[in-house]
Amino acid sequence: MNNNYLLSHRKEEPENGILYLVGTPIGNLNDISQRALNILKNVSLVACEDTRRTKKIMNKFDISNKLMSFNKHNSSIKIPKIVKDLKEGKSIAIVSDAGMPGICDPGEDIARSVKSEGIDIICVPGACAAITALVSSGLPSSSFVFEGFLPKKQIDREKILLEISKNEKTTVIYESPKRLRKLLKELFESCGGDREIIVARELTKRFEEHIGKNIYDAMNFFREREVIGEITIVIKGISKERDFVFNKTDLRKDLKELIKAGLSLSAASKYLAKKNGIKKSLIYNMNKI
Ligand code: SAM
């Protein structure tokens, strides 16, 4: 292997006219890279979600540089200014409150705008809560779905919950502590209590916890306990085999209930087939077994 590749970068950083998306810690301040510190120290300007938070990092590492507030409330005013500065040759770092800018924070908007102006973007990678939770969950992690925060609108939310319930891949979700119980209940209703899940709380911090074996366990854990701190949820996908067993038992029960309620076998099968996205004949024939 060519070691020079590992030790050097294409040019001395930061370069003029480049937007740097700089990953910062999600709790433990020691999780910042030397490269990130060099960028924060030497760019023309650091645009950050919360200047007090970023100052904390800068102070810990004895860095002083010009800070500018850049968040979802002022991004429409600040983006044109950042684009103008970059075109004039300044180097700018974007730092979010925690983790990777662009993952569920305004870093996404600035990256899109800057790219559309033909300006180069370079990412200085750092911690990300989704990846940290995923790899420490012990659940399949090489192929996964990241949903960020679920939508608030009920119809959109139900659509995603249904997708999660059928997904064969691991799903990662962000949630606020205030809404965790509601989300667990919704997951229970859509995926069943025995679906494997890990609720990762306060990752990289002093009181880091990885809670649950399955949805039922996690619900029980938080039933009596105040939910505080930052939360990321990792849900195992379904395995085809298990899904078949789960569906067969549940579907047979649903079928019986619908027929008891007065629907014909054909109508009940049609309804359940549509609801579960499977062939009508599979359900129709189930009644005969
Ligand atoms: N850009 C960030 C990243 O790369 O992870 C995420 C920003 S998003 C606005 C904040 C959400 O990330 C939190 O509400 C929580 O769901 C998750 N999160 C951030 N830090 C976390 C931590 N230390 N432990 C668990 N989840 C965390």
Does the domain at residues 130-235 carry the CATH identifier 3.30.950.10?
A: yes
Query: Cβ(32)–Cβ(24) under 8 Å?
Result: yes
pLDDT at 275: 77
- Cα-flanking dihedrals φ and ψ of residue 22, to 5°? -105, 120
- The residue type of 262 is G
Which of 104, 128, 136, 183 best tests ligand 1's pocket when mutated (most atoms within 8 Å of CB)? 104
Where is 210: in which H helix or E strand? strand 209-211
pLDDT digits (tens, 9 = 90+) for 241-277: 555 555 677 888 888 889 888 889 999 888 887 777 6
What CATH number has the domain spanning 3-127? 3.40.1010.10
pLDDT at 1: 45
d(CA 283, CA 123): 51
pLDDT at 7: 52
Calculate the alpha carbon distances from 54 to 25, 84, 97, 102, 230 in Å: 10, 23, 7, 16, 18
Q: What residue ranges do the domains of the chain occupy?
A: 3-127, 130-235, 248-288
Those residues whose C-beta lies under 8 Å from the C-beta of residue 192, and which sit 6 or more positions away, are: 215, 246, 250
pLDDT digits (tens, 9 = 90+) for 94-125: 999 999 999 999 899 999 999 999 999 999 99
Q: Establish whether domains 3-127 and 130-235 are of one fold.
A: no
The tokens describing 146, both together, are 């990241």
pLDDT digits (tens, 9 = 90+) for 143-157: 999 999 999 999 999
CA of 133 to the centre of ligand 1 (A): 10
Ligand 1: residues with CB < 6 A are 26-27, 96, 98-100, 103-105, 128-130, 174-176, 200, 202-205, 230-232
| Cis peptide upstream of residue 14 (ω within 30 degrees of 0) | yes
- The residue type of 84 is K
The tokens describing 111, both together, are 């990256």
